[in-house]
Chains A and B, each alone.
Chain A
Amino acid sequence: NAGVTQTPKFQVLKTGQSMTLQCAQDMNHEYMSWYRQDPGMGLRLIHYSVGAGITDQGEVPNGYNVSRSTTEDFPLRLLSAAPSQTSVYFCATSDSNQPQHFGDGTRLSIL
Chain B
Amino acid sequence: QKEVEQDPGPLSVPEGAIVSLNCTYSNSAFQYFMWYRQYSRKGPELLMYTYSSGNKEDGRFTAQVDKSSKYISLFIRDSQPSDSATYLCAPRDSGGYQKVTFGIGTKLQVIP
Task: Give A contacts to B, CB under 8 Å.
Answer: 4, 31, 40-43, 45, 48, 50, 58-59, 90, 96-97, 99-105, 107
Contact = CB atoms under 8 A, between A and B. Distances in A.
A97 B31 CA distance: 10
B45 interface: yes
B72 interface: no
B59 interface: no
B97 A31 contact: yes
Contact of B46 (A40, A48, A101): A101
Contacts of A107: 41
29 contacts: A4-B43, A31-B97, A40-B104, A42-B88, A42-B102, A42-B104, A42-B105, A43-B44, A43-B88, A43-B102, A45-B99, A45-B100, A50-B97, A58-B99, A90-B43, A90-B44, A96-B96, A97-B32, A97-B94, A97-B95, A99-B34, A100-B46, A100-B100, A102-B43, A102-B45, A103-B43, A104-B42, A104-B43, A105-B41
B87 to A, nearest CB: 12
A14 B65 CA distance: 45
A6 B2 CA distance: 29
Contacts of A45: 99-100
Interface of B: 8, 32, 34, 36, 41-46, 49, 88, 94-97, 99-100, 102-105
Contacts of B34: 99-100
A41 B92 CA distance: 18
Contacts of A100: 34, 46, 100
Contacts of B105: 42
Given A31-B97, A96-B97, A41 B104 contact: yes
